[in-house]
Structure 1
Amino acid sequence: MTPQSDEDEVWRQIVASFNEKAEDASADQPWPDRENVAVEAGPEDDDAREPVDEPQDEAEDEPEGSVEQADDEGHYVPPPPPPLPHGDALSRLAWVALFGGPAYLLLAALMTWPMEGWIVFTAVAAFIGGFVTLVVRMGDGPPPDSGWDDGAVI
């Protein structure tokens, strides 16, 4: 037999069993009792459905403080975040210039204030100066405490 004929035979078996229903080994296994849901029967279907017995909750016998602990068990509570850095005066001034220049121009346009040439120039220069200052001060180098071997640095 050639390898091609073995492959053809396997394909024929796959095609022949395509419409057959697969046997599920887990179909006969019931789910755990804790996943049973109680069915509330309405007045019209009292006879049609039987309520499922729910397991008794063990927490009912415990005091309230331990119930809250049981509810919180397994939930991650993150620590409080560190305070935001205040930054130095130059960085704060750069942020004010970055947003203040366009904000003034927008406000002056909405309020129809007269805008002389030097005011517009100052607002645009403040925006550009703030942007350039922040980009130059970004510090895209490695941190000073990283040591001599940074690993893979891109």
Structure 2
Amino acid sequence: MAEPEGVERPEQSDPEGRTDRTDDELFAELVAGFDEPVAEGDRSWPEAEDVADLRPQARPRPVINPLPMVRAVPPVDPRAWTPEEDPDDEHYTPPEPPPLPQTQAATKLALLALVVGLVMIVLGEIGELPGMATFLGVCAVAGAVAALVVRMRNPDPEEEDDDPNHGAVV
């Protein structure tokens, strides 16, 4: 193994006095002497690093307080529970809504044309009706949508509110 320039390898101490051993020879020597006991005077470490007693040392045990006792509560069926009525609690009960206004005949006719037009389109595409039925269905749907959109505006302009909030007052 070639050493880089400017780097010198330190001399290795060899008990036999040889300094030109290869790494493989040194490793083989270390492995061969692995299980041999080390003589007391041949230590290569400082005496301060010696471990005198390898037995586990006694450690103080932490104090564990027992958990508080908790009473068990019998199970309760949530469907059987009803909240207590508070007599001081004020409840708002809204008034009954007014009845729905009567639908005008023109609106009913436009909705009927919409439904019939959709049925004609579906049946014309399936092949149950002749080819003109699809065209008539599209015309009926377009006319019904136009009639419903036109009827959306306020029928009586005199009932128009002058209130910009439309009645929302807090």
TM class by shorter chain equals 0.3 to 0.5
Larger Rg: 2
Q: What TM-score results when the alignment is normalised by the length of structure 1?
A: 0.42
| Higher relative contact order (CA closer than 8 Å, sequence separation 6+) | 1
Q: What TM-score results when the alignment is normalised by the length of structure 2?
A: 0.39
